[in-house]
Every structure is written in C-alpha cells, then in structure tokens.
C-alpha cells in the first residue's frame, strides 16, 4: 500500500458524507499497524487487511455489497482499450466505469473516488 493510496483514501474519508465511521477506524488502525511493522511478512499481512477494508469502503460507497475488483476483459465498453491482463478493474453497474489501476489498491481507490455522494 503506497503512501499515495493511503493519502487518497484518507482524503476521501475526510470529506465523505457517508456514515462509515467503523471503516474509518479500521482503516486508521491498519495504517498505524502498517507503519509499525518491520518485517516483510508483517507488512504483507497489514496490506492484506488494508485491501479488505478498501474493498468494504468501495462497496459501502456504491451501496453494492457484492462488488469486487478483478482482471476482467472489457468487451463491449464504449472506448474500451485492448485487454491487458495485468490491469485490475472494477465496474459498478451504470457507473460510467470500468475503473482501472495497475494494482488492486489503485483500482479500488479510483472507484472509491468516483462513487456518488
């Protein structure tokens, strides 16, 4: 989880009008734990927890409990680019997506930032 991703999620949480207090607390706790971990294994477990919290934030923001990112082939999207299997994407129905990123976290943050208020 890069500092840029953390900052973007923090910014979204700071001005969100959605009642996501429990996710905000979980996110802050995971960020503190990540900063405290000294081993690769410890950091990896914190990053996995942060990704899970980020998925929960995206689902809450879009009101779609089954939304999940993946490596999806973008067939039939207007203006879609050629399929790149290394890209992560997520596409809430009727959202104007798909939202893409080179990492799962980046993909989720782009989708979070595009969520309706």
Q: Digits of tens for pLDDT over the chain (117 positions)?
A: 788 888 888 888 888 776 666 777 788 788 778 777 778 877 788 888 888 889 998 998 898 999 988 876 655 555 556 666 678 888 888 777 778 888 899 999 999 999 887
DSSP type of residue 70: B
**Residue for token pair 């089954």:** 66
Task: Dig out the tokens for 83 from the structure.
Answer: 């399929």
Distance CA 88, CA 26 (A): 24
- The Cα–Cα gap between 105 and 101 comes to 8
Question: Residue 74 CA to chain centroid, in angstroms?
Answer: 19
Q: Is the pTM of this model over 0.85?
A: no
Ordered by start, the domain boundaries in the chain are: 3-114
Distance (Å, whole) CA 20 – CA 29? 14
Question: How far is the C-alpha of 81 from the C-alpha of 56, rounded, in Å?
Answer: 28
């Amino acid at each position: 989880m890069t500092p840029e991703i953390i900052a973007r999620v923090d910014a979204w949480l700071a001005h969100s009008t959605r009642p996501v207090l429990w996710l905000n607390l979980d996110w802050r706790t995971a960020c503190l734990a990540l900063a405290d971990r000294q081993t690769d294994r410890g950091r990896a477990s914190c990053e996995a927890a942060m990704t899970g919290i980020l998925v929960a934030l995206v689902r809450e923001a879009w009101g779609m409990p089954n939304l999940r990112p993946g490596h999806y082939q973008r067939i039939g999207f207007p203006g879609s680019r050629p399929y790149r299997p290394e890209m992560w994407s997520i596409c809430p129905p009727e959202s104007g997506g798909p939202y893409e990123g080179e990492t799962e976290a980046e993909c989720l943050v782009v989708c979070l930032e595009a969520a309706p208020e």
